[in-house]
Amino acid sequence: MYNITFILTNPQMGENIGAAARAMANFGLKELRLVAPRDGWPSESAQAMSSGAFTHMHDVQVFPTLADALHDITFAYATTARPRDMVKDVFTPRQAARQTLSRTDTGKTAFVFGGERAGLGNDDVARCNAIITAPTNPDFSSLNLGQGVLMVAYELFMTAQEENIPPAEGTQHTPAPIKNFDNLFGRLEEKLDEGGFFRDEGLRPKITRNLRNTLMRAQLTEQEINTFHGVIRALSAPRS
């Protein structure tokens, strides 16, 4: 969707590469690069874990070093939870997504992820322009590789849509005109009367108002109002 690539440096388990690819494809990202994957490439376990994600992506490219993988990149984010003794901007995934999507140049952005064991080394981080640290519970902050990839991919997708997020789709739901509801409610009140519901006439206005208010919150559709007419009819049918 954008000129973006994800780079996994020294990934160990094929399963995690597969999970990362799946998360990328879920959010429309197509370009994955691997730096010296421990178990080689291609990988059957990556395929199995990906649920078919690779068919939605470009061919995976493999490089011997991070420097090689970054050869055509114009801006790289290193993802890491550990603070580094480096002068580098640190962003959340959301901030990085906003920054990336509002970039006006024609360059290519990389998101660089470390291996499962030790994450990114200082040298790797130093090759990148900025750091992404996901906000997490400080007492339990370790994310696995697939989850880290998911979070960044999700923010890119979500942020791209956000200015244009479609309104919450409650809209298939078209409430009936209030008049139809009034008919229903009048019927209910009549039947309640017959059943001796209003024992205290003084309380009738308040009780009726509350009941109406409650039912109106449901914002009934025409069809639902018809159903409720049936409900009242059935409930107030003569018992044998």
**Smallest distance, its own copies to C-beta of residue 68, A:** 25
**Smallest distance, its own copies to C-beta of residue 12, A:** 15
Q: Which residue in the set 12, 47, 61, 95 belongs to the binding site for its own copies (CB under 8 A)?
A: 95
Give the C-alpha separation, 68 to 63, whole Å.
Answer: 6
**Per rule CB under 8 A, is residue 173 in the interface with its own copies?**
yes
Q: Which residue in the set 44, 68, 162, 182 belongs to the binding site for its own copies (CB under 8 A)?
A: 162
Q: Residues touching its own copies: how many (CB under 8 A)? A: 73
Is residue 124 within 8 Å of 9, Cβ to Cβ? yes
**Sign of the dihedral defined by the CA atoms of residues 157, 160, 163, 164, in that order:** negative
Positions 127 through 146 that interact with its own copies (CB under 8 A): 134-137, 139-144, 146
Give the C-alpha separation, 120 to 202, whole Å.
Answer: 74
Positions 35 through 74 that interact with its own copies (CB under 8 A): 51-53, 56
Is residue 181 within 8 Å of 220, Cβ to Cβ? yes
Please state whether 28 falls in left (phi above 0), alpha (psi between -120 and 50) or beta: left
What is the per-residue binding string for its own copies in 177-206, x denoting contact by CB under 8 A? -----------x--xx-xxxx---------
User: Residue type for 187, please?
Assistant: R
Residue whose CB is less far from its own copies, 78 or 151: 151
Per-residue DSSP letter, 127: T
**Smallest distance, its own copies to C-beta of residue 122, A:** 16
